[in-house]
Amino acid sequence: MSTVEKIAMGIIGIGMVTTLILPGRQTPKVIDSFSGLFRGSLATAMASPRR
């Protein structure tokens, strides 16, 4: 992994942890949005419709 990739993953990881532990957050919606991001990226790469 390049340095840029490591930095990007670190920022995403810190954002996820912060979002999950702060009070008043909607954890299930946050998890769904992150999984939707990855599913959408995979669907785009495979040229299939998003679900």
Q: Please, what sign has the CA dihedral across residues 23, 29, 31, 34?
A: negative
Distance, in Å, from the CA atom of 7 to the CA atom of 1, rounded to the nearest integer, reads 10
- Per-residue pLDDT 10s for the chain (51 aa) are 789 999 999 998 888 888 777 777 677 777 777 777 777 776 777 776 655
Report whether 47 contacts 41 (CB < 8 A): no
3-state secondary structure of 37: helix
pTM higher than the cut 0.85: no
